[in-house]
Amino acid sequence: MAKRLFFSPSKSNAAGVKFRKASFDLLTDFLVNLDKRNKDNLLSSTKYCGNFKNKRVIEYILLITKELRLDPLVGYHAVELLQRFMVKYIEDFITAPTPKGATSNRPRSYEDVVYNKLKDKFPLIIFSCVQLANKLSLHSHMIDNNTAVHFLHSVDCTVSKQALLESELMVLKGLKFRLNVLNPLTYVEILLEVLGHNEPSVPMKHLYHYCHHVLQFISLERTAIYETLLMTTTERVSPSREQREQFVPVTEDCMLLGVGVIAVAAFILRKWEQVVGELSHITRISKRSITDFAHATLVHIVGISSSVTPLS
């Protein structure tokens, strides 16, 4: 695993990471564990997966982590916590029996449920997910309640310390205190560590730097990129509903996302041939799948109307 060092929050995160320090056995254990967790997560995926990885929400979370000078890992972890909490909240609300004497006129869609029940709390819930993710990080400075309340006031979210604590507890209970969830940056870092061990000539520092930018871009343009990948996979401009439902696990595949991020960064660094074959060997994801993901990302980086040299 990439060895993180304590660093000044104002400095680039890449400066705080050292590669090629972990033993082969440790890397193997990490990779096997991440692969298993990824597969387990895919088996439990539902049609709601990804619905709260909205561009504006992710941008909001990333801006919070930047403004508070937190480790980027915190932001990606918070996105996953928010997704899981919101899905669980909605499922519980929809399946809860209607109290006697109460009307059964509920909103027709879960979007209406979220809006009506959480429209005033949603910004605070997002911040609570960031707070919880940050508390799990050993490499970010802690944000005390005074700082948290001051920050929320600065973005027109007036809350008390008590409300902040209650929101955090609500999210904790909603997640059943299970906070150790998958996040894409962890996959990128572990894969880079293994790649650096297997291919010593790869410039890891530069590759890692570009990976941060690529991952951020994919996270913000998630809907468009996966739509392009879906059309490529199905070879249809308008995929059917069934094809879309079958494609949902692909959008939640952190291992595929990890290799896709590294592949795009490698393409930018002109290290494509050197890196992609090794990524396929490490993960057993086919070169074709990695290429399709990279191409779907690159056409959005340069613009749909621009041409991208076909990847081989």
Query: Is 118 part of any domain?
Result: yes
Going by pLDDT thresholds of 50, 70 and 90, the confidence category of residue 6 is very low
Give the separation between CA 39 and CA 282, rounded to whole angstroms: 16
Query: Is 91 part of any domain?
Result: yes
Give the separation between CA 21 and CA 125, rounded to whole angstroms: 37
For the stretch 42-94, pLDDT in tens is: 888 777 777 788 899 999 999 999 999 999 999 999 999 999 998 888 777 77
What is the number of structural domains in the chain? 2
Query: Is 40 part of any domain?
Result: no
Q: Are residues 233 and 166 in the same domain?
A: no
Q: Are residues 156 and 193 in the same domain?
A: no
Q: Residue 87 has what pLDDT?
A: 84
Q: Are residues 166 and 200 in the same domain?
A: no
Q: Residue 109 has what pLDDT?
A: 59
Q: Are residues 217 and 156 in the same domain?
A: no
Q: Are residues 188 and 169 in the same domain?
A: no
Going by pLDDT thresholds of 50, 70 and 90, the confidence category of residue 311 is low
The partner residues of 4 in beta bridges, in order of sequence, read: 17
Q: Is the confidence at residue 277, as pLDDT, over 60?
A: yes
**Domain limit, last residue, from 116, 150, 174:** 174
Q: Residue 217 has what pLDDT?
A: 97
Q: Are residues 116 and 142 in the same domain?
A: yes
Query: Is 13 part of any domain?
Result: no
Query: Is 275 part of any domain?
Result: yes
Domain of 101?
A: 49-174
Query: Is 307 part of any domain?
Result: no
Question: Going along the chain, which residue ranges are E strands?
Answer: 3-4, 17-18
Q: Are residues 162 and 193 in the same domain?
A: no
Q: Are residues 149 and 53 in the same domain?
A: yes
Query: Is 259 part of any domain?
Result: yes
Q: Are residues 101 and 197 in the same domain?
A: no
Which of 163 and 11 is assigned the larger pLDDT?
163
The amino acid at residue 227 is E
**Averaged pLDDT, 275-296:** 95
Q: Are residues 236 and 207 in the same domain?
A: yes
**Domain limit, last residue, from 174, 196, 211:** 174
Q: Are residues 56 and 162 in the same domain?
A: yes
For the stretch 107-137, pLDDT in tens is: 555 556 666 777 778 889 999 999 999 998 8
What's the per-residue H, E or C state across 219-263?
HHCHHHHHHHHHHHHHCCCCCCHHHHHHHHHHHCCHHHHHHHHHH
Residue 100: which CATH number?
1.10.472.10
In angstroms, what CA-CA distances link 203 with 187, 209, 273, 298? 18, 10, 14, 21
Query: Is 41 part of any domain?
Result: no
Q: Residue 215 has what pLDDT?
A: 97
Buried b (16+ CB within 10 A) or exposed e, 44-68: eeeeebbebbbeebbebbbebbeeb
**Domain limit, last residue, from 174, 204, 235:** 174
Q: Copy the structure tokens of residue 189.
A: 């870092």
Q: Are residues 224 and 294 in the same domain?
A: yes
Average per-residue pLDDT for the chain: 84
